[in-house]
Structure 1
Amino acid sequence: MSTITTEADSMTHYPDSACEAHRDVTTSEPVCIICMSNEIDELEARLAALPASPKTGSALTDIAAERCRQVESEGWIPTHDDDHVNDELPAMASLYAMPAAVRDWPAESTGYGDTFGEAILPHGWQPKFGDRRRELVKAGALIVAEIERIDRATLAAEQKGAA
């Protein structure tokens, strides 16, 4: 099996076993899902090693774990997220972050739904409401996904401009 190691990210990828849908944005090489999992494991270990404080407790760890769950369990990989260029990710994050009572406020005048919750919900998406803390963790993970998407798009635009 051949391997590729790039100086840019110091990761070894295994393109022979990689799914064609997983591509490194800097090299366009297929990225092995095992390497992605290793990155996630390393990030989780680094977050777990952070001292808990009254300010952060386990919140950052929980957001990182939720982001990993979204990728691993739901299949919302970077290439999937990259398709959401109309603010769907932050809209869903806003819905989860919005107090439950606000979701029911009237919003007929927007033309997008009868309530704020309906108006902001991306078409075809299904929220899973429940525990308030869990909703906020999901919101944080969706914000992280959007920031990552913006960073990839910016890098791709810069590389296209340099070519």
Structure 2
Amino acid sequence: MTKLPYRLSAAEMDILDERRGQRTREGFFHTHDDRHTGFQLSQAADEYLRAAVTCARHPEINPCNLRASGSWPWSARWWKPCAPRRMLVKAAALLIAEIERMDRAARGNGGAP
């Protein structure tokens, strides 16, 4: 890893930690991500982003009561709403996963672009 000329912010560290957790906690390694060639990772990120914005605009809403919309790409058991900041972290990590998948596809060793 390239040494950065600055320290990562708490937000950056949290996003990278979430991405690492997607692999280690959930077992979602690149072989899993590469099967999602229909931009499902981006769709999931969008769902978390929209939920975070809804909660930020309406603080009376309990995030735990939010349901995923019809564009959530997976089973409802994978929808895990939480505090708005945490949902933004999840969204950013999912976008990293999508970009990594696209990069592998472009190199010819992963999911289709």
TM category (shorter chain) comes to 0.7 to 0.9
In structure 2, the CA distance between the partners of 1:66 and 1:123, relative to structure 1 (3 Å rule), is closer
Residue identity matched to 2:74: H
Structure 2: state its 5+ residue gaps.
56-66
Structure 1 segments, 4+ long, off by >6 Å, are: none
- Please list the CA deviations of residues 16-58 of structure 1 after superposition, one character each: whole Å capped at 9, or x if unmatched: xxxxxxxxxxxxxxxxxxxxxxxxxx68xx57x8335xxxx31
Higher relative contact order (CA 8 A, sep 6+): 2
The partner residue of 1:120 within 68, 71, 80 is 71
Q: For residue 71 of structure 1, what is the aligned residue in structure 2?
A: 23
Question: Identity across aligned pairs (percent)?
Answer: 37
The partner residue of 1:94 within 12, 22, 46 is 46
Counterparts of 1:1-163 in structure 2, within 5 Å, are 50-51=6-7, 57-98=9-50, 99-100=53-54, 117-125=68-76, 126-156=78-108
- Please state whether the residue corresponding to 1:118 is helix, strand or coil: coil
Structure 1: state its 5+ residue gaps.
1-41, 102-115, 158-163
- Please list the CA deviations of residues 134-156 of structure 1 after superposition, one character each: whole Å capped at 9, or x if unmatched: 00000000000000000000001
From the CA coordinates, give the structure whose radius of gyration is larger: 1
| Alpha-carbon shift at residue 130 of structure 1 (Å) | 1.1
- Coordinate RMSD, CA, aligned: 2.3
Question: Which TM-score applies when normalising by structure 1?
Answer: 0.52
Counterpart CA distance in 2 for 1:66 and 1:152 is 20
Question: Which TM-score applies when normalising by structure 2?
Answer: 0.73
Q: For residue 63 of structure 2, what is the aligned residue in structure 1?
A: none
Counterpart CA distance in 1 for 2:97 and 2:90 is 10
